[in-house]
Chain A
Amino acid sequence: MNKVKSILKDYALEIAISLIAIVLVILNPGKAYTGFKQALENFRSLLLVMIGVSLLSGYVSVVVSKETIRRYVGKESGFKGVIAGALFGSLMVGPAYMFFSFFKEMVSKGAKPRVVAASITAWAVKLPWIPFMIALLGAKFAIVLNLLIFLFAIVCGYLVELFLGKAEEQR
């Protein structure tokens, strides 16, 4: 019974979403079905990345040492660590939230919140897609916006850490 309760609590959001989905199906089955199909398609196209991220998360949490993490993206990484986080964000595909479980393992191993925040912000830069963006929105707009995002990713990292305060410093 307790186990059922903890599962219910753990997946409260997913259950809520399923309920909303059911309501939408009743309201407009056609549209809801298209939405469901799109979700499946999305899931299928990202499955490989998802497997990769999970394997990487498991590896980080069990095999990689705290010292390594600290050196590259932790306390001792400094500015370089933030840049590394922002570059990671600009290069990866799929939605940022797909990597949250990976970030969680990294943080619990000593990665700095500023690196994670920079990474999530820089997710809006998609290096491989810049030619597409230039074709649609013009070179000036595309290049200036991406440069600003990258700079903001770094600033955002430091601001988040500043506001998170000393409590995080103790890690």
Chain B
Amino acid sequence: MSDETVFTTRKSGDVLVVRVHLKSFDLRRSREFRQGAEQAIGNEKKVVLDLAEVEFMDSSALGTLLPLMRRVTDNEGDLRIGGLQSRVQVLFELTRLYRVFSIWPDADAAVASFAA
């Protein structure tokens, strides 16, 4: 198993930014990501998932995002996504999940969208 850090978090005002540090976000680390991210998100209402470093993503990684979104929306919050690279963007289009998530060009734009 790789020692690569899966994700880190930072606060930008009242928005929690979760930045994934995996170049290949796939079955090898998706469960670890989900468990850690759920804990990190806790009761936050404004969450941005920054995927700018992710070059490749598979279906198992994609499947971790919906429970995270549900967790935030059940808490009357919103989870937005920023920084999709082309391979990852294709995945969202194939599965039509771009209709489900609020997707922004980068994390800063996603953070700023909460103030709009």
Q: Determine if chain A interacts with chain B.
A: no
Interface residues of A (CB under 8 A from B): none
